[in-house]
Amino acid sequence: MERPTRFEHSRWVGDKRTWVVHDLDHADDHADAIAELMDARTYLSFGPDTLPEARNRGYRLCTQCRAAASREDADA
Ligand SMILES: [Zn+2]
């Protein structure tokens, strides 16, 4: 999907309300949720921009992003 401008250079985007981290490379099927997050402005990015870093900070991977990533792995 087209990344929100704020996250042009980030892949992992956390939602401070829910402690969920989205994988923007696998968020196509719930882009509306990402747009809502951008509107709510409760997002944050991570440094370094990695899933382990997000997990270290207490975030868990979005189930929809995880499902999309595993579908892609199955196709590969
Ligand atoms: Zn997600």
d(CA 22, ligand 1 centre) in Å: 4
| pLDDT at res. 76 | 64
Token code pair at residue 23: 């994988």
Q: What does the domain layout of the chain look like in residue ranges? A: 11-75
3-state secondary structure 14-46: EECCCCEEEEHHHCHHHHHHHHHHHHHCCEEEC
d(CA 31, ligand 1 centre) in Å: 8
pLDDT of 45 over the 80 cut: yes
6-33 pLDDT, tens digit per residue, is 778 899 999 999 999 999 999 999 999 9
d(CA 66, ligand 1 centre) in Å: 7
pLDDT of 70 over the 90 cut: yes
pLDDT of 44 over the 80 cut: yes
Q: Sign (positive/negative) of CA torsion 20, 49, 29, 36?
A: positive
Percent of the chain at pLDDT above 70?
96
